Amino acid sequence: MRFYAGPHIRLLPIMGAMNLRSRRIEVSVELAFPPFAFVDVVSGVPHKDDPGLEITDWTQLAGDDRCNVELDLPIGFGFTPFPGDYRPAEKIISEAGDG
């Protein structure tokens, strides 16, 4: 989970991605709609260095549970169509020049 500033939304159904170097497969679902973005890793290990806030444990709470939570969420952007890519435009541009 993270704050999501847009500018585009991403509503991606269940999908798989394979890392050809490690031969690892990640199956995930993404919902990125301001002000929040969520990536649910169905199977595999998330390969991102900055996965945002891990909220998996929240699934163990009962529907009528109430609590106050202090969150320290990273801010992500949707400048690319790639699932889980929340880089700001400046980083995308600078990394494109490294080719």
Q: Where are the domains of the chain?
A: 2-96
Higher pLDDT, 12 or 44: 12
* pLDDT tens track for 26-85: 888 999 999 999 988 887 666 555 667 888 888 888 888 888 888 888 899 999 988 888
- The structure tokens 């991102």 sit at 48
Note whether 44 and 26 are within 8 A (CB).
yes
Residue 5 and residue 64: Cα distance in Å, rounded? Answer: 30
Do you find a cis peptide bond into 35, omega within 30 degrees of 0?
Answer: yes
Q: What is the pTM of this model?
A: 0.75
Q: Specify the pairing of strand 75-78 against strand 2-7.
A: parallel
Residue 14 and residue 8: Cα distance in Å, rounded? Answer: 19
